[in-house]
Amino acid sequence: SLRDILQVLNSNRPLPEILTFIVRQAQQLLGADASAIYQLHEGSKPLSFQAGVGISPEQLARAYANEAVVAGEGEPAAASGAEPVFRAGDQDYCAQLAVPLKIKGEHYGGLMLYYLEPRKFSPEEIELAVMFGDQAELAIENARLRVQVERTAVAAERNRIARDLHDSVTQTLFSASLIADVLPRLVERHPDESVRRLEDLRQLTRGALAEMRTLLLELRPATLMEVNIEELLRQLTEAARGRARIPIEVNVSLLAPLPPEVKVAYYYVAQEALNNVAKHARAGQVVVTLHAAPEEVAMTIRDDGVGFDAAAVTPEHLGLAIMRERSEAIGGQLDIDSKPGAGTTIALRWMPAEGEKSE
């Protein structure tokens, strides 16, 4: 039915699966013996098989016979006669109905319906076939848009990682190189100061190493899914500690595993919060706490820095929008408590739906 097709169109199923569903519905409702969708190409292979029911790609070695019909002027075309109008392998069809498919005004291919016996097509049948063609066009266009969105998202993520690499690792290593340059002179003239600078250098290099580890994890999302949330938080805090050169305490209690999508959301919320601490908070102490139980996962990131007026700051300015989006994606609750001069507390709470609780 049309409702079933719309449900499939709105799903995330692969395009071949959606097109196969559409041609199957068309075949059943229009009483065809076989149905298929082709795509037009230039060159020696003008048509390629995209989906079909009752007919296989191997049987369509002579699919080029339909090229003139598929690449028509946008109107459905019917053919019928005592002699076969189309032959697929060793199977002859004596009637066919072709609906050209267009995507954004350009010919894409066609929806074909094949019949073993000669027959005529009523206006209602042709209109129904056109409707199935419209659904196929929509499915193809949606699939193309999804690919574009995914490519845009990948490009945006790469740009973000490049910015992080410049903002954090590059600047951290630059600071480390400056300290390394002055250390030889400090050792001779100010031994006590050189010891303090060596500790700064150690923190900077450890932070840069942790930052590189987190960036490498983000370049491989599958690996990010596999790493324990405690290890992820410790890498984030190590990186922030190196950049801001402030003590960061981490307390983790894992009484239940986190679902992968929940773990990733907590990771990115913690990342944004710690980035804010390193860049803006001017804090003297930061405490990160995570408690994961079967009935609830709660995380707080608290600093004693300068704070801010949450009502006066746009969400984009401090990455607050990103944190809220990550929280909403898993059905979590994000609370941001901050006042000028009173520090900031970021709290994320997630409760599994009934039936999802860990044993």
Cα 93 to Cα 86: distance, rounded to the nearest angstrom: 5
Say what the pTM is. Answer: 0.51
Q: What span, in angstroms and rounded, lies between the C-alpha atoms of 18 and 24?
A: 10
pLDDT in tens, 119-169: 999 999 999 999 888 888 888 888 888 888 777 766 776 776 667 666 666
Per-residue pLDDT at 40 = 79
Task: Quote the crossing angle between the two packed helices 123-164 and 191-219, to the nearest 10°.
Answer: 170
Rounded Cα–Cα distance for residues 102 and 93 (Å) = 25
Q: What is the pLDDT of residue 259?
A: 92
Residues of the chain under the 70 pLDDT cut: 1-12, 42-46, 58-74, 153-154, 157, 160-162, 164-171, 210, 216, 218-222, 315-318, 354-359
User: What's phi and psi for 296, nearest 5 deg?
Assistant: -165, 145
pLDDT score of 65: 46
3-state SS class at 354:
coil
Domains and CATH numbers, the chain: 2-145 (3.30.450.40), 245-359 (3.30.565.10)
Can you tell me the distance from the alpha carbon of 131 to that of 137, in angstroms, rounded to the nearest whole number?
10
Amino acid 63: pLDDT: 47
Q: Which of 243, 234, 227 is nearest to 277 (CA)?
A: 243
pLDDT (tens digit, 9 = 90+) per residue, 88-122? 777 888 998 989 898 887 888 889 999 999 999 99
Number of CB atoms found within 10 A of residue 136's CB: 28
Partners of residue 289 on adjacent β-strands:
251, 300
Q: What is the pLDDT of residue 253?
A: 96
The DSSP result for 75-126, as a single string, is S-EEEE-SS-SEEETTEEESEEEEEEEEETTEEEEEEEEEESS-----HHHH
Distances in Å between the Cα of 276 and the Cα atoms of 73, 84, 117, 265, 302 are 59, 72, 72, 17, 11
Give the angle subtended at the CA of 246 by the CAs of 273 and 227, to the nearest 5°: 50
